[in-house]
Amino acid sequence: MSALSNSRFLKMNGLGNEITVLDLRGSPHRVSAAEARAIAADPRSRFDQLMVLHDPVTPGTDAYMRIYNTDGSESGACGNGTRCVAWAMTADPVMRRAGDGDLVLETKAGLLPVERMSDRVFTVDMGPPRLEWNEIPLRDPVADTRAITLDTHLPEAPELRNPSAVSMGNPHVVFWVSDATAYDLAAIGPVLEHDPALPERGNISFAQVTSPEHILLRVWERGAGATRACGSAACAALVAAARKGLTGRKAVVSLPGGDLVIEWRASDGHVLMTGPTELEHEGILSPALFAGAA
Ligand SMILES: N[C@@H](CCC[C@H](N)C(=O)O)C(=O)O
């Protein structure tokens, strides 16, 4: 029987980005890729990202998070999921942490301080963007990641050339388009996600800058597919747009699920993401889910 059998979970969302939160603090168990896929396969616990809480690693932090995509792969960042975890750790009667003060979460990519702005709205300090080719990572050295070249050539879509690349703790490629809704994400997304120039695959965004304070964004997520919102992609798009002089350092990023406010803070270069969370229901993971999942 899996150590996860009968574990309580929260099904949440951040702007429609489907998030399941599982609390393994106090347990040595590490969710396997097969277990993550099994949890995603059940409609009650279905997720774009599974956020798993573990005991803190760095002194002064509240929890260490592992982040799983629908396909079982792991990521270093999930903006919408981080806000959901912040809600769970401050408001859920079971997952609520002891004590008050600033909430600081940690992933394999670094520390994420979180501020509660209102009942369900949180600002996450997503840290500084990583902009060097080997930090993203890209296969080939490039001096300026504001305009990169992928191997994929789409002659039917001449706009899809020279995207920007940014890491927010996970790899993002941002294409600059005149109409963010014009592309068939389900057809193009998987091809671009797996482009050989992206050794760890990529989260793929189509960004339409409508003013210096506003970006329309659609995202094909690595390991999860088309989602209604992606917080780290919104951060990556704002950083890339500001670097290209298309926007200022603060903008509203509109996704199919709603709006995020993103600021690339001048004082320390950190990216702040503000947006809502929603609790849908709680549940218990059935032992039957894990039959055959190692
Ligand atoms: N939805 C997330 C990003 C999820 C991680 C991504 N699919 C990856 O593999 O890097 C967000 O809100 O940032």
In tens, the pLDDT along 53-103 reads 999 999 999 999 999 999 999 999 999 999 999 999 999 999 999 888 789
The whole-angstrom separation of Cα 290 and Cα 164 is 40
Is the CB of residue 17 below 6 angstroms from any atom belonging to ligand 1?
Answer: yes
123 and 14, same structural domain?
A: yes
The whole-angstrom separation of Cα 126 and Cα 196 is 27
- Please say whether the beta carbons of 75 and 222 come within 8 A: yes
- Number of domains the chain contains: 2
Is the CB of residue 164 below 6 angstroms from any atom belonging to ligand 1?
Answer: no
In a domain, 282, yes or no: yes
What was the pLDDT predicted at 156? Answer: 84
In a domain, 141, yes or no: no
- Is ipTM over 0.90? yes
Enumerate residue ranges in the chain where pLDDT < 70.
Answer: 294
204 and 248, same structural domain?
A: yes
In a domain, 145, yes or no: no
- Please say whether the beta carbons of 161 and 208 come within 8 A: no
282 and 229, same structural domain?
A: no
284 and 257, same structural domain?
A: no
E-assigned strand segments in the chain: 8-14, 17-23, 49-54, 63-69, 74-75, 103-107, 110-116, 121-125, 164-167, 171-176, 203-211, 214-221, 225-227, 250-255, 258-264, 271-276, 278-284
d(CA 203, ligand 1 centre) in Å: 7
Please state the atom number of ligand 1 nearest to the C-alpha of residue 221.
Answer: 7
115 and 22, same structural domain?
A: yes
Per-residue pLDDT reduced to its tens digit, 214-247: 999 999 999 999 999 999 999 999 999 999 999 9
What was the pLDDT predicted at 155? Answer: 82
Evaluate if pTM is beyond 0.95: yes
172 and 200, same structural domain?
A: yes
* Residue 5: strand pairing partners: none
210 and 103, same structural domain?
A: no
In a domain, 142, yes or no: no
| pLDDT above 90: percentage of residues in the chain | 94
122 and 200, same structural domain?
A: no
In a domain, 91, yes or no: yes
* Residue 121: strand pairing partners: 276
What was the pLDDT predicted at 136? Answer: 98
Is the CB of residue 232 below 6 angstroms from any atom belonging to ligand 1?
Answer: yes
86 and 12, same structural domain?
A: yes
111 and 49, same structural domain?
A: yes
In a domain, 244, yes or no: yes
92 and 194, same structural domain?
A: no
- Residues 239, 243, 248: CA angle, nearest 5 degrees: 75
Question: Where in the sequence is the domain holding 247, given as residue range(s)?
Answer: 164-269
Give the CATH number of the domain where residue 120 resides. 3.10.310.10
